[in-house]
Amino acid sequence: MKKMINLTVNNRDYSLPVIPGETLAALLRQRLHLTGTKIGCDEAECGACTVLVDGEAILSCVYPAVRADGKTVITVEGLAEQIKGAYKLHPIQEAFVEHGAVQCGFCIPGQIMTAFALLKRNPDPLIEEVRFALKDTLCRCGSYPMIEKAVLAAARTLRTGEPLRLPEIQESIHHKAMIGHKHLRPDAVEKVTGKAIFTDDLHFDGMLFAAVRRAMIPHGILKHLDTSEAQNLEGVHAVLTAEDIPGEQNHGLVISDWPALIGVGQRVRYVGDAIAIVAAETPEIAKQAVSLIEAEFELLPVISNPVHALEPDVPQIHESGNLLKHIKVRKGDVEQGFADADIVLEDIFYTQTTDHAFMEPECSIAVPKDDDRLEIYVGSQIPYQDRNQVARVLGWDEKRVRIVGQKMGGGFGGKEDIAGQIHAAMLANVTKRPVKLLYDRHESLVAHPKRHATQIKVKIGAKKDGRIVAVETELFGDTGAYASLGEKVMTRATTHSAGPYDVPFVKGDCYAMYTNNPPAGAFRGFGVTQSVFAIESMIDMLAEKLKMDPIHLRKMNALHVGSITNTGQELTDSVGLLECLERVEKEIHKNASNPFTSKVDPEKPHFVRAWGIAAAYKNTGLGGGAPDFSHAEIELYKDGSFEIRSSAAELGQGLVTVMQMIASEELSVPADQVRVRVMDTDLTPDGGPTTASRQTYITGNASRLATLKLRGMIEEFLGDKYDFAASQIEFIEGKVIAKGQSWTFAEIAKEMLADGQKPIALYRYEAPQTQPLGTGGNMHFAYSYGVQAAEVEVNTNTGEVAVLKVISANDVGMAINPLGLQGQVEGGVMMGLGHALTEEFIVEEGHVITDRLARYRIPGIMLTPEITSIIVEHPAADGPYGAKGVGEISSIPTTPAITNAIYNAVGVRIHKTPVDQELIAKALWEH
């Protein structure tokens, strides 16, 4: 057997001893520290680990390292040339940056390497060939359309030597100097070169590796726990159980109901519940130790669905019972509404559990510091909440904990709850060594909160002319074993369950139920994804019954300025729904006449096509009376550069870009003069949670107002010192000018500092006051509106569904960065399409069936439809430059647009997501 591996990596020769069982990915990442090669699944499903071996793209996570002996390897780090410290990007890398193909960036090295291998083999690929090559390289941010265009543009440049073709991006109709124009992400270059560091890429001296022993039974009492064998295993430094928790046992975002560890005699509520944690010299030893921990349980009956959970005489999962919350929405007397109706329809819909499947699995590293503090490196959507939850379990003052937020390979709501932060912290505290807890894909799928599965009953009453007079809904939401954000999510589901319509009488009842399934929490769309499927299906059913055009029916009932929402809020501005409907209508008619009737393909008579449409709205911000604030701080440095700071999270969605643009707009300085720092509880002020599409609005406002405050300070300083009125001072092209005199920012910083003034401004922005549900008034300070139309093709033999085209119109108030917006819109469609067609997180009797990426399918590039994005801009009075949220609305109407199109094509109504092709086929053959 070989003792050494001799290989060439990125033009450098290495000779390394063979390590048994090592994969090429491990060799590259751990021994050569080439961490650009990412591990998204470790099971040959995602393509993130793609590298070239002797010119061919392979998956390094399933490639034995010894096999690379004598071979030449190229990783993403090997593409760019470094010339005098600056990068000269490879044209593929440059194209990814320029086309906005980079969002969270985690999949990008794999995309680039796969594309690189393609273009070596085929310098002039067709679009189909690009798709075929990237078929199994997944991007959860859904950047596929941009990736495709980037690869084609790069191919052309490589072939012809001509400059890269740039994308055509429509600027905002309300644009300013910088705001509203295409702007590249400040982190794009490091993401395409593999230099971007995510948590698992970090290494600390003396670092130990953690693993978690999970109950793997859905419901029971832990009777007996024996960790002695694990303790005795060589290389194990600590094995901790519930008895070792120094502070509070529970954590939780709203309700503290989730034990960090379940103790002997206590209740296990889902398979992912932790019963012991281990820190060891290597991840392998930690895993082995976990397998040596013996546990015995008294099994209890499993509550596997929310309807069952509410029945009398079933076991109660929490002391408070199985009902997390009964949520009520009331607007007038709904019975009166139904009595007035000419037509009443009723039906029931089901939506599945889904997983965020962010490409980067969860990772936390806790590092003990000399001053009795602990630093935690983690990609988290809510750093300050992490700090609080970790500190509570440790029994510490929260100031002793510092969360150092890392780049996130996607979050989508799935990185709001605690994952490994507390466990890593406990182990680091005991071992006094840095401890890394990395979930593999399997653990990620089993453990973290999902999207709520729902059952939604809708009753709708309308007049003959199409006016909707009453809507009654009843929802059951499966919040799983712990509350997480369940109450909030199901509240949104309920308040939005009558759709974006002006309905005089509404009644909604929702039962958010505990079950023994994995917990459910925040997930892009936040409950509205579910209820919009139900109501928008009903609206189409109503249109059919009334023989009305489905767009016309929606236009007739659409919310508009002056409407009163279901929760009693008068909409006073920024309601772009009608315009969304009109513009989508116009766009569809460019494509087809009679779009909502089925068309048979004359060449292939068993292929039938039709369009479908759906509309939605979604709140921006927390609302419901919750204080909604963010802090931003901006500082001017002696070299004339600025740093703007907030703990708000960048998960790939582009907040950092927005903050940079705002500061540079308000100061009239080039963007590269502004650095952005986020997600650090020591160095950045609290930006609140990154959820509810709130950051552009809230932290955007905080950033703008902090910048204006600093600007004011500068004006005042110069005014005082040189005797100008503030109105005489102008900020122009990176300089400050007054009465013919001009200063650079470096000069101003020095003068201010010399004068004892720190050029630093902190602003706390508080969003307009909102009211709790049930009290009337403004439940939210802004809403975004969206309409999507989808064209599908159904194979009437097999029931297979292909989505060919999607038109997506979104009223986002104002498009601060149109390039970033494009990514959010297209990615939103892809996520919505996954929800409609491919994704189903299956749990049977509390046991997770879809515990590998191979079983949980997220859409790949082959499923990408042609997406047309229409930006509608009805400015929100208090939004920064009129902007409001976009992150969620862009993915909400996709599912019903697709299922309505299926109905229009073949007459099969989908009551349950994801679409089951077998069900369609069966309905057709039984017909």
Partner 1 sequence: MTLWQEYLQPTSLSEAIQDLKSAPDPVLLVAGGTDVLLELKQGHLSPVHTLIDLSNIPELCAVEERGDTFFIGAAVPINRLMSHPGVIKHAQALVDACHMMAGPQVRNTATLGGNVAHALPAADGTITLLALDAQVQIASSAGLRMIPFSELFLGPGKSSLDKKTEIITGFFLPLNKPGQASCFKRIMRPQGVALPILNCAVWIHREDDSIHDVRIAVGPGGPKPFRATNAEKFLTGKQKQGENLAEAVRELIAQAQFRTSPLRATADYRKHVVSGVFSETFEEAWKRAA
Least separation in angstroms between CB 187 and ligand FES? 11
Residues 6+ apart with CB under 8 A from 4: 15, 16, 17, 18, 69
Least separation in angstroms between CB 136 and ligand FES? 8
CA of residue 788 relative to chain centroid, distance: 20
| 264 part of the interface to ligand FAD, by CB under 6 A | no
Residues 6+ apart with CB under 8 A from 635: 642, 643, 644, 645, 710, 758, 759, 760, 761
Least separation in angstroms between CB 476 and ligand FAD? 36
Contact partner, 556, from ligand FES, partner 1, ligand FAD, none, Cβ < 5-8 Å per class = none
| 44 part of the interface to ligand FES, by CB under 6 A | yes
CA of residue 474 relative to chain centroid, distance: 28
| 113 part of the interface to ligand FES, by CB under 6 A | no
| 925 part of the interface to partner 1, by CB under 8 A | yes
Query: In this structure, are residues 228 and 218 in contact, taking their beta carbons and an 8 Å threshold?
Result: no
| 601 part of the interface to partner 1, by CB under 8 A | no
| 18 part of the interface to partner 1, by CB under 8 A | yes
Q: Is the dihedral of CA 12, 16, 18, 20 positive or negative?
A: negative
- By CB under 6 A, name the one of 9, 26, 28, 39 that touches ligand FES: 39
Interaction residues for partner 1, span 841-880 (CB under 8 A): 842, 849-850, 852, 854-855, 857, 863
Contact partner, 868, from partner 1, ligand FES, ligand FAD, none, Cβ < 5-8 Å per class = none
Give CA–CA dist 477/515, Å, rounded: 10
Least separation in angstroms between CB 142 and ligand FES? 8
DSSP string spanning 498-551? T-SB--SEEEEEEEEEE-SSPPB---TTTTHHHHHHHHHHHHHHHHHHTT--HH
Residues 6+ apart with CB under 8 A from 377: 199, 202, 364, 365, 366, 367, 404, 406
Q: Kindly tell me which of 59 and 211 has the beta carbon lying closer to ligand FES.
A: 59
| 902 part of the interface to partner 1, by CB under 8 A | no
| 45 part of the interface to ligand FES, by CB under 6 A | yes
Q: Which helix (H) or strand (E) holds 192?
A: helix 188-193
Inter-axis angle of helices 383-394 and 421-431, nearest 10: 50
Residues 6+ apart with CB under 8 A from 879: 574, 620, 696, 697, 700, 701, 782, 813, 814
| 62 part of the interface to partner 1, by CB under 8 A | yes
Contact partner, 270, from ligand FAD, ligand FES, partner 1, none, Cβ < 5-8 Å per class = none
Give CA–CA dist 8/883, Å, rounded: 50
φ/ψ bin of 138: left (φ > 0), alpha (ψ from -120 to 50), beta (otherwise): beta
Q: Is the dihedral of CA 694, 697, 703, 706 positive or negative?
A: negative
Give CA–CA dist 904/431, Å, rounded: 62
Q: Kindly tell me which of 43 and 298 has the beta carbon lying closer to partner 1.
A: 43
- By CB under 8 A, name the one of 56, 124, 226, 346 that touches partner 1: 56
Alpha helices (runs of H) in 258-313, residue ranges in sequence order = 283-292, 306-310
Q: Kindly tell me which of 38 and 467 has the beta carbon lying closer to ligand FES.
A: 38
Residues 6+ apart with CB under 8 A from 661: 178, 179, 183, 671, 816, 817
- By CB under 6 A, name the one of 45, 362, 873, 888 that touches ligand FAD: 45
Q: Kindly tell me which of 56 and 333 has the beta carbon lying closer to partner 1.
A: 56
- By CB under 8 A, name the one of 25, 42, 662, 902 that touches partner 1: 42
DSSP string spanning 810-837? EE-S--SSHHHHHHHHHHHHHHHHIIII
Contact partner, 866, from ligand FES, ligand FAD, partner 1, none, Cβ < 5-8 Å per class = none
| 359 part of the interface to ligand FES, by CB under 6 A | yes
Which of these ranges, 280-288, 455-463, 464-472, 717-725, lies near partner 1 under the rule CB under 8 A?
280-288
| 74 part of the interface to partner 1, by CB under 8 A | no
> Which is nearest to 31 in space by CA: 203, 209, 206, 280?
203
| 64 part of the interface to partner 1, by CB under 8 A | yes
| 42 part of the interface to ligand FAD, by CB under 6 A | no
Least separation in angstroms between CB 126 and partner 1? 15
| 828 part of the interface to ligand FES, by CB under 6 A | no
Which of these ranges, 100-108, 214-222, 711-719, 745-753, lies near ligand FES under the rule CB under 6 A?
100-108
Alpha carbon distance, N-terminus to C-terminus of the chain: 65
Residues binding partner 1: number (CB under 8 A)? 57
| 361 part of the interface to ligand FES, by CB under 6 A | no
- By CB under 8 A, name the one of 58, 636, 659, 883 that touches partner 1: 58
Give CA–CA dist 85/377, Å, rounded: 28
**CA 319-320-322 angle, 5° bins:** 100
Tokens of 634: 């901006």
> Which is nearest to 459 in space by CA: 527, 508, 532, 511?
508
| 192 part of the interface to ligand FES, by CB under 6 A | no
Q: Kindly tell me which of 441 and 459 has the beta carbon lying closer to partner 1.
A: 441
Binding mask of the shown chain, residues 132 to 171, with x at each position contacting ligand FAD by CB under 6 A: ----x-----------------------------------
| 18 part of the interface to ligand FES, by CB under 6 A | no
Contact partner, 852, from ligand FAD, partner 1, ligand FES, none, Cβ < 5-8 Å per class = partner 1
DSSP string spanning 44-91? SSS-TTEEEETTEEEEGGGSBGGGGTT-EEE-GGGTSEEETTEEE--H
Binding mask of the shown chain, residues 850 to 889, with x at each position contacting ligand FAD by CB under 6 A: ----------------------------------------
Give CA–CA dist 543/736, Å, rounded: 60
Q: In what order do the strands lie in the sheet with 12-17?
A: 12-17, 4-9, 72-74, 50-53, 56-59
Q: Kindly tell me which of 59 and 150 has the beta carbon lying closer to partner 1.
A: 59
Q: Kindly tell me which of 44 and 760 has the beta carbon lying closer to ligand FAD.
A: 44
Tokens of 450: 């999902």
Give CA–CA dist 125/122, Å, rounded: 6
Give CA–CA dist 276/228, Å, rounded: 12
Tokens of 456: 């939604």
Interaction residues for partner 1, span 768-787 (CB under 8 A): none
Contact partner, 1, from ligand FAD, partner 1, ligand FES, none, Cβ < 5-8 Å per class = partner 1
Give CA–CA dist 378/828, Å, rounded: 25
| 21 part of the interface to partner 1, by CB under 8 A | yes
Q: Which helix (H) or strand (E) holds 420?
A: none
Interaction residues for ligand FES, span 121-140 (CB under 6 A): 139-140
| 137 part of the interface to partner 1, by CB under 8 A | yes
φ/ψ bin of 332: left (φ > 0), alpha (ψ from -120 to 50), beta (otherwise): left
Our separate counts of H helices and E strands in the chain read 23, 38
Contact partner, 117, from ligand FAD, ligand FES, partner 1, none, Cβ < 5-8 Å per class = partner 1
| 53 part of the interface to ligand FAD, by CB under 6 A | no
Residues binding ligand FAD: number (CB under 6 A)? 3
Q: Kindly tell me which of 214 and 645 has the beta carbon lying closer to partner 1.
A: 214
Residues binding ligand FES (CB under 6 A): 39-42, 44-49, 59, 61, 103-108, 139-141, 143, 359, 410, 652
Residues binding ligand FAD (CB under 6 A): 44-45, 136
Residues binding partner 1 (CB under 8 A): 1-2, 18, 20-21, 23, 42-44, 47, 50, 56-59, 62-64, 66-67, 69, 114, 117-118, 132-133, 135-137, 284, 287-288, 291, 442, 606, 797-798, 800-801, 837-840, 842, 849-850, 852, 854-855, 857, 863, 914, 917-918, 921-922, 925
